[in-house]
Amino acid sequence: MLNFGIISTARINQEALLFPASKRDDVVIKAVASRDWARAKDYADSKGIPVAYGSYEELLEDPTIDAVYISTPNAFHVPWTTNALLKGKHVLCEKPFSPTYHQALELVQLAESRGLLLMEAMHYSNHPAVHQLIRELRDGRLGQIESIHTKLSIPTPPEGDIRYQTDLMGGAFMHIGCYCTHFIQAIIDRPLAMHSINIEQQAPNRADVLALGDLRAEPEIGNLSFNVSLKDRNLSSFAKIQGSKGSLLINSIFNPVDTQRKPYMDQITLRSDVLNGFRLPENTFHQSTYDFQLEAFLNAIKRGDFRPLVDSRNSRLIEQGKALLNPSFSRFTDPGLRLAS
């Protein structure tokens, strides 16, 4: 039995961990921490969590906690992932787990040195259909990839939401653009660089609500692009891929499961001029991508396989995008790439 602790009382906890864990008998959510004890206690009582802590440090000091889920704002992912690993906890951290390549490598190396599992919560990629698609595309089912265009839109967050706050690393690019760059990088399994990025802000000094970007590969491929938005009415996503053998349109690539329907139903679909006989995995037992994510995390620990389940290359693309928007964001690190997955 694995004892989980949750760092923060964010809304994502319910869908990402609490509900998936409630369906399993090999994991228990034992504690939750907030920077305010009363908030932690109210949250714990409402969710049936046995222990509440009034600081993240207290939770990490609990020797009965085996692993932590970190759902803080983006700006705090690196420090609390670092602290958790130093305290001997396995870590499932919300995306993006690091805004810079250098910090990503440091976290990977720290986890490896401690014999601990570090996983970034790129939940979409754990769905069997998405996992198979990425593998098939990397193996050349469409031939040489000539272009990839990705799009992801989510409903407009309410006023005051942390996703509008630049000091917390909010915004469309950080919050959901990381999915698109992650997917493109997974298919184009060689060095990529952020070539350009443009954003739209609702007001000065507020995080972006729309981000458009282009990536470049070496040797060069055609258009590799993303379009992400925080100002839509519904959650929607797609990827258009052109290869030397034909084209592919994938609908709901980043939201492959309809979680509004009970039981959950897969909604990912394909349209291709060459892959008409290609079949996606079926009979996924009405699981969400978060169910598959937790299963992957727990199975790795059971196997004793603590290779980090992150792609540090994606952090490099995020760093480059942030630096293009704000040259003072950081100085680029070693251009060498490392896949830690």
Domain for residue 325, yes or no? no
pLDDT on residue 338: 29
pLDDT on residue 328: 65
Identify the band that residue 261 occupies on the pLDDT scale cut at 50, 70 and 90.
confident
Helix (H), strand (E) at residue 310: none
Query: How many Å apart are CA 57 and CA 83, to the nearest integer?
Result: 8
Read off the pLDDT of each residue in 4-30 and give the average, rounded to a whole number. Answer: 98
Domain for residue 333, yes or no? no
pLDDT at 341 exceeding the cut of 60: no
Domain for residue 180, yes or no? yes
Express as a percent the part of the chain with pLDDT over 90: 85
Domain for residue 317, yes or no? no
pTM for this entry: 0.94
Higher local confidence (pLDDT), 273 or 151: 151
Number of domains present in the structure of the chain = 2
Q: Are residue 176 and residue 272 in the same domain, yes or no?
A: yes
Q: What value does the mean pLDDT of the chain take?
A: 93
Q: Are residue 113 and residue 147 in the same domain, yes or no?
A: no
Read off the pLDDT of each residue in 162-188 and give the average, rounded to a whole number. Answer: 96
pLDDT on residue 227: 98
Domain for residue 230, yes or no? yes
Q: Are residue 79 and residue 191 in the same domain, yes or no?
A: no
Q: 282: Cβ–Cβ under 8 A, 6 or more apart, which residues?
A: none
Q: Are residue 171 and residue 231 in the same domain, yes or no?
A: yes
Q: 299: Cβ–Cβ under 8 A, 6 or more apart, which residues?
A: none
User: Which residue range(s) make up the domain with 196?
Assistant: 125-288
Look up residue 316 and give its amino acid. R
Q: Are residue 134 and residue 97 in the same domain, yes or no?
A: no
pLDDT at 229 exceeding the cut of 90: yes
Identify the band that residue 329 occupies on the pLDDT scale cut at 50, 70 and 90.
low
Domain boundary among 256, 288, 320: 288
Look up residue 89 and give its amino acid. K
Residues 285-326 have pLDDT tens digits of: 789 999 999 999 999 999 999 999 999 999 999 999 999 988
Domain for residue 170, yes or no? yes
Higher local confidence (pLDDT), 288 or 260: 288
Task: Show the beta-strand stretches assigned E in the chain.
Answer: 2-7, 27-33, 51-53, 67-70, 90-94, 118-121, 145-155, 192-201, 208-217, 224-232, 236-243, 246-251, 257-258, 265-266, 269-272
Q: Are residue 138 and residue 55 in the same domain, yes or no?
A: no
pLDDT at 340 exceeding the cut of 70: no
pLDDT on residue 339: 28
Q: Are residue 136 and residue 284 in the same domain, yes or no?
A: yes
Higher local confidence (pLDDT), 280 or 46: 46
Q: Are residue 17 and residue 156 in the same domain, yes or no?
A: no
Domain for residue 115, yes or no? yes
138-142, 146-150, 269-273 — most confident range: 146-150
Q: What is the CATH number of the domain that holds 106?
A: 3.40.50.720
Q: Are residue 141 and residue 282 in the same domain, yes or no?
A: yes
pLDDT on residue 284: 79
Q: Are residue 34 and residue 71 in the same domain, yes or no?
A: yes
pLDDT at 234 exceeding the cut of 70: yes
Domain for residue 193, yes or no? yes
CB burial of residue 50 (10 Å; 0-12, 13-18, 19+): exposed
Q: Are residue 283 and residue 136 in the same domain, yes or no?
A: yes
Q: Are residue 119 and residue 130 in the same domain, yes or no?
A: no
pLDDT on residue 262: 85
